[in-house]
Amino acid sequence: MSKSLPRRALLSVFDKTGLVELATALAGHGVELVSTGGTARALREAGLEVVDVSAISGRPEILDGRVKTLQPEIHGGILARRADPAHMAVLAEHGIATIDLVVVNLYPFEATVQKPDVTRDAAIEQIDIGGPTMLRSAAKNHASVTVVCDPTDYERVAAAIDAGDVPETLRRDLARKVFAHTASYDAAIARWLAKNDAGEAFPDVWITSMRRERELRYGENPHQRAALYRSDGADPWWANATQHGGVALSYLNLFDADAAWLLAHDLGAATGGKAAVAIIKHANPCGAAVSDSLADAYQKAFDCDPRSAFGGIVALNRPVDDETVEAMVAAAQADLVIAPSYGPGVVERLQAKRKNTRLLEAPAPVPNARHLRPITGGWLVQEPHRVATPVSEWKVVTDRQPSQAEMDDAALAFRICAAVSSNAIVLVKDGIAWGIGAGQQNRVESGQIAAQKADGRAAGGACASDAFYPFADGIEAAAGAGVAVIVQPGGSVRDEETIAKANELGVAMVFTGERQFKH
């Protein structure tokens, strides 16, 4: 038998997927099977001969099973350097045999703490100690020991044994996987303790881990490699989405689709469940509208800026029906459409008219608990974006009081504005964002862009600014677009000047007390 092939294997797993098949293959090569508890029972029930760990250690399991494998007879057999005569002499002195293959997976701590009714004691008991210790011992000594923590790797390990050699490259790859797995496991425990015991919004050490879902065709540009990762413990909408046709999603498709999906649902929720449509181009809305009808909301969102909508991302918060399809096939090509579902025959009709458009069917998005953004050598961490101050707490600061319809437009404009890159100005009339000015270095030019795009269609509506107007010229620009009400955070040292200018121009103005920068 090759030195790289196991003579003795220790198997102790919670997830027993593929266990019997692997153990049967090992036994067929004369490998002695050592095991614990439920794993040993499962193997014996399959007709396999198994040696209990307690028979090797000479000690029974104690403390309700908390101590099973934490014994020198186990870890000595795993950790001994086979090429070191002194190590092997120590094993011989103490009657310890080597363990050449370790197959372990861990208690499901993360799945346990996600249960709404889990108790603290139940969670603590799912913190595996012996399992990670065996995995780390075997991974450290991967020069001599093969270690497996993932049932999906059983087949390639069995194939290597069948071929007569477990190569160093495979052992090293499996060891790398173990250290990534135990790091992720410990990170989940640390996050849970920080959340439930320390109560810290921002702990002194930020621990997170992610698993690669798939590589992407490229990043923001073709010369940039990219991949999609899922945060451990997260259940994101895109992981549960169904794609109907089209090429695989790209880095920018996913980035923009996430922004569109969040905005469409946010607008729908903020307006009492109305149909909401958001069209995103380069991470910014170029169209957004709410209505009682999805088809009407789509048409109005598209009409905001048809030129920019070409090649954009369209998010709809209701199932796509026949009437909406008629509007969509008559409009410009979209790169991607995302909706909760599609009515009978809708997918086929859209694909027939828009062959290159990818259609996603996805569950509602759940915002992250924290928003992370990389900077050179580190991360910025903040609470996620939200419009926090209710409209009932906004303050009218002008002589003129806005009507209810104007306040409805102001509320929608400010919410859309919060999703637009700063500096941002948004003009809304009758539930439609007719003008969106995004990402300019000064607020006046953002207002000019918004007014140019609105082209008079926002007259009598609302103008929202994501931050205060520092000078009265911004008020003049908004009034020049014909709006009836301006909504802004307030807080400038020149607030009195801007209020006076709004009064002079006969425009109502509302202070939200809440800035909504987005970078």
Please list the active-site residues: 140, 282
Max Cα separation, the chain?
97
312 vs 349: CA distance, rounded Å: 19
Instruction: Report CA-CA distances (Å) from 422 to 342, 382, 394, 418, 478.
Output: 34, 17, 21, 9, 17
- 367 Cβ contact list (under 8 Å, min separation 6): 262, 384, 385, 386
Nearest to 290 by CA among 420, 177, 409, 155: 409
One-character DSSP codes across 209-265 = -EEEEEEES-SSSTTS-EEEEEETT---GGGG-EEESSSPP-HHHHHHHHHHHHHHH
Q: Which residues, other chains included, contact 475 with Cβ-Cβ below 8 Å and sequence gap of 6+?
A: 469, 486, 498, 501, 502, 505, 507, 509
Q: What is the DSSP string of 6-59?
A: -SEEEEE-SS-TTHHHHHHHHHHTTPEEEE-HHHHHHHHHTT---EEHHHHHSS
- Which CA distances in Å does 157 have to 10, 14, 154? 14, 19, 5
> Nearest CA to 510 among 463, 473, 471?
463
Do residues 484 and 508 make contact, with C-beta atoms less than 8 angstroms apart?
Answer: yes
What tokens were used for 256?
A: 């923009």
Cα distances (Å, whole numbers) of residue 502 to 393, 410, 413, 469, 489: 20, 15, 18, 12, 15
8 Å CB contact between 131 and 74: no
Interacting residues of 97 by C-beta distance below 8 A, sequence separation 6+: 8, 56, 77, 91
Neighbouring C-beta atoms of residue 271, cutoff 10 Å: 17
Q: Phi then psi for 360, rounded to 5 degrees? A: -110, 135
Q: Which one, of 76, 79, 138, lies nearest residue 103 by Cα?
A: 138
Radius of gyration for the alpha carbons in the chain, expressed in angstroms and rounded: 31
Q: Do residues 375 and 480 touch, judged by C-beta distance below 8 A?
A: no
How remote is the C-alpha of 15 from its chain's centroid? 25
**Which residues, other chains included, contact 194 with Cβ-Cβ below 8 Å and sequence gap of 6+?**
200, 203
For residues 147 and 6, the answer to whether their CB atoms sit within 8 Å is no
